[in-house]
Amino acid sequence: MEPKLRMQIKETVREILEESDMETTTEHQIRRLASNKLDLDLDKSEYKTYVRHVVNSFLEEQKAKQEDDEEETGKQGQEYDDEGNLVICRLSAKRKVTIQNFRGANLVSIREYYYDGGAERPTTKGISLNEEQWSTLRKNIPAIEKAVKDMQDRDI
């Protein structure tokens, strides 16, 4: 296959891929659309193999790009409190869940905070769970949810 033709096929296939819904579009559909644009039968063996190569290269690039974007979003999306603890979520304006390391132990901390001189500081109101306690609580979440639902059903 001539280099000029290879370049035309590659550019046409990539253009179609850029505009296509990758969840529903098949390689055959890509080949058919490119065949129509180029007025060339891309179902022939030598062309078919090359189109498959172009499609696979495009998909690998898209996957790598998506992974890079997700990695960047994950790094940028993390919030840390004034003490350097990772904030998992804010439950309210004054309450949040953090992960902290206290004296070598990793803790899940759920507590209230107050502002002191512009800095957010933890109050004594809250709980810090070590890894074993957190694991026990996590295993029992379905039972807690059921009990809360039962209580709500009784109130109705």
Q: What is the pTM of this model?
A: 0.48
Separation between Cα atoms, residue 80 and residue 70, nearest integer Å: 19
The CB density around residue 27, as the number of other CB atoms within 10 Å, is 15
pLDDT at 74: 58
pLDDT at 93 over 70: yes
The CB density around residue 42, as the number of other CB atoms within 10 Å, is 22
Given a contact cutoff of 8 angstroms between Cβ atoms, the answer to whether 120 and 135 are in contact is no
The CB density around residue 23, as the number of other CB atoms within 10 Å, is 5
Domain map of the chain by residue range?
A: 3-76, 79-155
Separation between Cα atoms, residue 100 and residue 138, nearest integer Å: 18
pLDDT at 72: 63
Separation between Cα atoms, residue 47 and residue 37, nearest integer Å: 14
Three-class SS state of 127: strand
Instruction: Assess if CATH 2.30.31.10 describes domain 79-155.
Output: yes
Give the model confidence (pLDDT) of 18-64 as tens digits.
Answer: 988 877 889 999 999 999 999 999 999 889 999 999 999 998 888 88
pLDDT at 41: 92
Q: How many CA atoms lie within 13 A of 141 on its CB side?
A: 5
Separation between Cα atoms, residue 101 and residue 78, nearest integer Å: 17
Given a contact cutoff of 8 angstroms between Cβ atoms, the answer to whether 58 and 22 are in contact is no
pLDDT at 73: 56
